[in-house]
Amino acid sequence: MARVMNKIRFARVLHLSQSHVRVTRSIFLSDKRCQSTCSDISGIFPPIPTPFMNNGDIYYEKLRQNLTKWNDYDFAGYVVQGSNGEYPLLTTDERLDLVQEIKDFIPDNKLVLAGAGCESTSATIEMSNKMADNGADAVLIVTPGYYKNQMGHRALLDHYTQVADKSKVPVVLYNVPANTGVVIPVKTVVHLSSHPNIIGIKDSGGDISRIGRIIHETRDSKGFQILAGSAGFLRASYALGAVGGVCALANVLGAEVCLLDQLCREEKWSEAKYLQHRLIAPNAAITSEYGVPGLKAAMEWYGYYGGVPRAPLQPLGPDDVKRIRKTFELNGFL
Residues identified as active-site: 174, 202
> Is residue 142 within a helix (H) or strand (E), and if so which, with residue range?
strand 138-142
Residue-wise DSSP of 244-270:
EEE-GGGGT-HHHHHHHHHHHHTT-HH
How far is CA 62 from each of CA 23, 66, 69, 76, 294, rounded to the nearest angstrom? 38, 6, 11, 22, 18
C-alpha 231/C-alpha 235 separation (Å) is 8
Q: Which is nearer to its own copies, 111 or 249 (CB)?
A: 249
Ligand-binding annotation for 246, yes or no, is yes
Q: Which is nearer to its own copies, 62 or 278 (CB)?
A: 278
Q: Which is nearer to its own copies, 114 or 260 (CB)?
A: 260
CB of 256 to its own copies, least distance (A): 15
C-alpha 324/C-alpha 318 separation (Å) is 10
Q: Are 145 and 180 in contact (CB under 8 A)?
A: yes
C-alpha 180/C-alpha 159 separation (Å) is 15
C-alpha 60/C-alpha 183 separation (Å) is 34
Determine the length of the chain: 334
- Omega into 312 within 30° of 0, i.e. cis? yes
CB of 278 to its own copies, least distance (A): 7
CB of 219 to its own copies, least distance (A): 8
How far is CA 179 from each of CA 50, 192, 237, 327, rounded to the nearest angstrom? 18, 22, 21, 24
Q: Which is nearer to its own copies, 34 or 48 (CB)?
A: 48
Edge-to-edge strand order for the sheet containing 225-228? 43-45, 244-246, 225-228, 198-203, 171-175, 138-142, 111-115, 77-80, 47-48
Q: Which is nearer to its own copies, 29 or 183 (CB)?
A: 183
Binding residue ranges for pyruvate: 246
